[in-house]
């Protein structure tokens, strides 16, 4: 299956990966190739087959008790921030 440029651009936008025209074209061609190869799955009849959820090695969630056991670690939370301001992370101004 081939992929068109508009779809490739939309995907890149959704994934927030900035690509120039040349890169978009390269990605389009490569993804197209992979998608073509994946078409082998068309052979498989999955009628009535349930999709795998998680893996079968564990059955269900094991909930934790409701207690405050974490947080209160502002220093750790902010320690790697590339541009912090006091106790805040920052981003370029968002206009809402």
Partner 1 sequence: MLTDLTIAQAAEGLRKKEFSAVELTKAHTDAVEALNGRVNAYITVTPDKALEAAKKADSTLSAGEAPALTGIPLGIKDLFCTNGVRTTAASKIIGNFVPPYESTVTAKLLENGAIFLGKTNLDEFAMGSGNLTSAFGSVENPWHRKDDASVLVPGGSSGGSAAAVAAHMAMGATGTDTGGSIRQPAAYCGIVGLKPTYGRCSRWGTIAFASSLDQAGPMTRTVEDAAIMLTAMAGHDPKDSTCADVAVPDYRAACGRSLKGLRVGIPQEYDSPLMATEKGNDILAAWKKGAKILEEAGCEIIDVFLPHTRYALATYYIIAPAECSSNLARYDGVRFGKRAEGATSLDDLYEKTRHNGFGEEVRRRILMGTYVLSAGYYDAYYLKAQKVRTLIQRDFTQAFQKVDVLLTPTAPTAAFARDEKPEDPVQMYLNDIFTVPASMAGQPAMSVPVALDDKGLPLGLQLIGKHFDEETIIAVGSALEKAAGFTARPDLRAGVSA
Partner 2 sequence: MSYTIEGNTGTWEIVVGLEVHAQVISKSKLFSGASTLFGGEPNSHVSLIDAGFPGMLPVINQACVEQAVRTGLGLKARINLESRFDRKNYFYADLPTGYQISQFEHPIIGTGVVQIELSDGSTRDIGITRLHLEQDAGKLMHDQDPKRSFVDLNRAGVALMEIVSEPDIRSPEEAGAYVRKLRQILRYLGTCDGNMEEGSMRADVNVSVRKSASEPFRTRCEIKNVNSIRFVMQAIEIEAARQIEIWESGGEVDQETRLFDPHKGETRSLRSKEDAHDYRYFPDPDLLPLVVEQAWVDELERGLPELPDDKRDRFIKQYGIPRYDASVLVAEQAIADYYEEVAKGRDARLAANWVTGDLFGALNRTGRSIQDSPISAQALGGMLDLMADKTINGKIAKEVFEDMLETGDSAADIVERKGLKQVTDTGAIDAAVADVLARNADKVEEYRGGKDRLFGFFVGQVMKAMAGKANPAIVNEALKKVL
The residues that touch partner 1, with contacts defined as CB under 8 A, are: 3, 7-8, 10-12, 14-19, 27, 30-31, 33-35, 37-38, 40-41, 43-44, 46, 49-58, 61-62, 64, 73, 75-77, 79-83, 89-92, 94
Binding to partner 2, residues 54-73 (CB under 8 A):
54, 58-73
Q: With residue 58 as reference, give the H or E element that holds it.
A: none
Binding to partner 2, residues 16-35 (CB under 8 A):
16
Closest contact distance (angstroms) between CB of 68 and partner 1 is 16
Q: Provide the token pair at 86.
A: 């006091």
Q: How far apart are CA 63 and CA 71, in angstroms?
A: 19
Q: Which residues of 15-51 are buried (b: 16+ CB within 10 A; e: fewer)?
A: eeeebeeeebeebbeebeeeeeeeeeeeeeeeeeeee
Name the residues that contact partner 2, by CB under 8 A: 13-14, 16, 53-54, 58-74, 76-78, 83, 85-96
């Amino acid at each position: 299956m081939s992929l068109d440029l508009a779809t490739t651009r939309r995907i890149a936008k959704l994934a927030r990966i900035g690509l120039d025209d040349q890169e978009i074209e390269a990605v389009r061609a490569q993804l197209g190739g992979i998608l073509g190869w994946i078409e082998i799955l068309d052979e498989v009849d999955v009628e009535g087959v349930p999709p795998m959820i998680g893996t079968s090695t564990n059955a269900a969630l094991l909930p934790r008790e409701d207690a405050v056991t974490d947080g209160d670690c502002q220093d750790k939370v902010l320690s790697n921030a590339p541009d912090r301001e006091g106790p805040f992370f920052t981003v370029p101004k968002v206009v809402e």
